[in-house]
Structure 1
Amino acid sequence: MKKIQSNFELITAVDVITLFVVILFVVLFAQSIAALMEAFQSEVYTNVVAGMSNI
């Protein structure tokens, strides 16, 4: 009975670690998408200002 309990605790620990890794991956992915959007927005604004200076 003791071996089954320790095996269950190990599986639970692996599940918790996997959950934290998935959450970390989602957070880093969201941050990279936000940085990409910010860079694109900055590039668009730069092009608009440069285009207006040619008028």
Structure 2
Amino acid sequence: MSERPHPLAAGASILLVDDEPTIRDTVRYNLVREGFVVTLAVDGLEAIRAVRADRFD
């Protein structure tokens, strides 16, 4: 991981969908460190709800 945020991140919003908590948390941790805003979903239904409620990049 770099010490500086990723130049494309700049607060870009990402929806991360995965049913494995360890994978979800690890990926989220790394994306946040790079400067992304991350919303988590554990399954497809939760992801659909998130997409309907928010806008992602």
User: TM-score, normalization: structure 1?
Assistant: 0.29
Q: Normalized per residue, which structure has more strand?
A: 2
Q: Normalized per residue, which structure has more helix?
A: 1
User: TM-score, normalization: structure 2?
Assistant: 0.28
